[in-house]
Amino acid sequence: MKNFEIARLFDLMADVLELRDENPFRIRAYRRAARNLESLAEDVEVLAREARLDEIPGIGRDLADRITEYLATGRLKDLDAARKGIPAGVVELMNVPGIGPRTARLLYEKERVTSVDRLETLARAGKLRGRHGIQAKTEANLLKGIALVRGGQARLPLGRALPLARELVRALERVPGVAAARAAGSLRRMKETVGDIDLLVTSARPAEVMRAFTGLPQVADVLERGETKASIRHREGIQVDLRVVEPASFGAALVYFTGSKQHNIRIRALALKRGLKLNEYGVFRESTGRRVAGATEEDVYAALGLAWIPPELREDAGEVEAAARDALPRLVELGDVRGDLHCHTNASDGHHTIEALVAAAEARGYEYVAITDHSPSARVAGGLDARELATHVARIRAVQRKHPRITVLAGSECDILPDGSLDYADEVLAGLDLVVGAVHSRFKQPRAQMTRRLCAALANPYVSVLAHPTGRLLGEREPYDADLEQVFRAAKRHGKAVEINAYPQRLDLGDVHARRARDLGVLLAVDTDAHVLDHLATMELGIATARRAWLGPDEIVNTWPARKLGAWIRRARSEAGRPARPARAGGAGR
């Protein structure tokens, strides 16, 4: 968990340096290091012990020294020095969308705003209006931003909560007498954000489990400790609740504490109709009080006349009725994924070479991977102009020759411009195997205009996938305003796919919209938007979202074999009456 701690400190250092108007290259170095530490699959403490910190992308000697310093002392002298004279609340102002370092500094120096609470008070009273260029609309946007930030602080993104829970489960499994340990709650249902972490253990020695749990190094505070139940505050700030149950009740408790609340209400009502009583201890005959099921979830659902329901579906959204008919869908699994269609290299804002990315995809057993670096309008991301792109494609083709067992698609994450046109001319796009269209600017266009923009991009024969279709960042940026019903219908009409972007801060599309797209017959792609090699592992989060959307593998284009994928790309191009350039099938000839 030191990975997250140091990432937070590096982000804080970047914030403070921005407030002080320091060297932008130094600021970017800290930001980049923070992102890479958050997505790092290995433990930074292990890397430090083995003198391998330089293997982390973006970590040079100076930042490696900072990591070593923190691991040894628990502090960063440079951060302590930089923060002198700056109230902590001023740094927190920059978490509010629309407030950059210049505005935060101005609000502090001119209005003595030293906290988000103070900012909210002034904005609600209209006391910022007309000052420093702030208008009534700006005040309203600030209040929306404050609400967004507070909502994000109250819940932890799944991508951060999941590794915390798994580490705790592994620790509990090592406690003598523990027969099984599982995560439950909204985390087990793989919701995009979680308010707390629920853990369930079965053991005949609950006192030992309580003692071990409350003594773990991850514990910041013990909030409650009883004979079979305990609550702690994790060092990452989230509350973790643990319950110990007997083996005969473990399945029933897992159903109960996994939820959702509405799902539990539905199945309890179903139990009553069958003359049964269902609670966290088991399924009981109402007439005799005899327990008829409870040790496993499968037994619990079978006693109710239901097929076992995957946790991701337990939202009272038709899953109970489907289970009663034995008509639950075959949900996509991580092992169904054959490739990733949205990845970046150091040609734009990624941190690894083409060959390193291809080798990593090949090591994951993928049949194909798409290299989709940015187009020129994404200047901050090092977007490529047409000439640079041609050189880049040539390098991709050369790497393909070295890796004949995997198909390497030369693509682009091409900006969708405000009028719906693409950032490259059609003749440039025609030279690519795959085009992923994305909005990276003008997020506040009116609803009708943004809708036309997205639909126009989907009508372009060279665009195959609409990336992160709502533009949201969890806890940071709200979705842009677009009529997704129209967007999905345009995707269906033109035979295109919309993306579930697995990057932990995005998970865009969310499950509700992804299910609506599915219901309309729209194809989806689940991609990682990888910028470092460890990001490839976030495919798990995207697949979890797809499962919550009731998606099966046939509805997700990157579960298809390479030949089928290539045929789909060609079909959209040819049906639009444009010259079709087939996607390369690589040396394997799949």
Residue 520 has pLDDT above 70, yes or no: yes
End-to-end CA distance of the chain: 41
Q: What are phi and psi of 557, to 5 degrees?
A: -65, -30
Please name the amino acid found at residue 167.
E
- Residue 582's pLDDT band, with cuts at 50, 70 and 90, is very low
- Residue 500's pLDDT band, with cuts at 50, 70 and 90, is very high
**DSSP-assigned states of every residue in 302-369:** HHTT-----GGGTTTSSHHHHHHTT-------GGG--EEEEE--TTTT-SS-HHHHHHHHHHTT-SEE
Q: Where are the beta strands (DSSP E) in 109-218?
A: 156-157, 178-184, 193-194, 196-203
Residue 588 has pLDDT above 80, yes or no: no
Radius of gyration of the chain (CA): 26
CATH of domain 334-575: 3.20.20.140
- Residue 587's pLDDT band, with cuts at 50, 70 and 90, is very low
Pair 304, 314: CB distance under 8 Å: no
Report how far residue 456's alpha carbon sits from residue 467's, in angstroms, rounded to the nearest whole number: 14
Average pLDDT rounded to a whole number, residues 485-512? 96
Q: Which CATH superfamily is domain 250-324 in?
A: DNA polymerase, thumb domain (3.30.210.10)
Residue 576 has pLDDT above 70, yes or no: no
> Which pLDDT score is estimated for 580?
38
- Residue 152's pLDDT band, with cuts at 50, 70 and 90, is low
Percent of the chain with pLDDT over 90: 65
Of the ranges 49-63, 265-279, 470-484, the best mean pLDDT one:
265-279
Report how far residue 29's alpha carbon sits from residue 31's, in angstroms, rounded to the nearest whole number: 5
More confident residue, 24 or 344: 344
**Domain positions in the chain:** 2-154, 156-245, 250-324, 334-575
**DSSP-assigned states of every residue in 249-312:** GHHHHHHHHH--HHHHHHHHHHHHHTTEEEETTEEEETTT--EEE-SSHHHHHHHTT-----GG
> Which pLDDT score is estimated for 589?
32
Pair 38, 57: CB distance under 8 Å: no
- Residue 496's pLDDT band, with cuts at 50, 70 and 90, is very high
Within 10 angstroms of residue 265's Cβ, the number of other Cβ atoms is 11
Residue 590 has pLDDT above 50, yes or no: no
Averaged pLDDT score across all residues of the chain: 90
Report how far residue 40's alpha carbon sits from residue 53's, in angstroms, rounded to the nearest whole number: 11
> Which pLDDT score is estimated for 31?
87
Equal fold, 250-324 vs 334-575: no
- Residue count (the chain): 590
The CATH architecture that domain 156-245 belongs to is: 2-Layer Sandwich (3.30)
Cα angle, residue 38 at apex, residues 524 and 254 outer, rounded to 5°: 65
- Residue 1's pLDDT band, with cuts at 50, 70 and 90, is low
Sign of CA dihedral 66, 69, 75, 81: negative
Average pLDDT rounded to a whole number, residues 334-338? 98
Residue 482 has pLDDT above 60, yes or no: yes
pLDDT digits (tens, 9 = 90+) for 298-331: 999 999 999 999 999 999 999 999 999 999 999 9
Among residues 469, 467, 511, the alpha carbon closest in space to that of 487 is found at 469
Q: Which CATH number fits domain 2-154: 3.90.76.10, 3.30.70.890, 3.30.200.20, 1.10.150.110?
A: 1.10.150.110
More confident residue, 556 or 236: 556
> Which pLDDT score is estimated for 207?
93
pTM across the whole model = 0.79
- Residue 586's pLDDT band, with cuts at 50, 70 and 90, is very low
Average pLDDT rounded to a whole number, residues 544-558? 98
Q: What are phi and psi of 462, to 5 degrees?
A: -90, -10
Please name the amino acid found at residue 267.
I
Residue 371 is encoded by which pair of tokens?
Answer: 């290299």
Who contacts 88 (Cβ-Cβ below 8 Å, separation ≥6)? none
Helices and strands in the chain, H and E counts: 24, 17
Average pLDDT rounded to a whole number, residues 208-213? 94
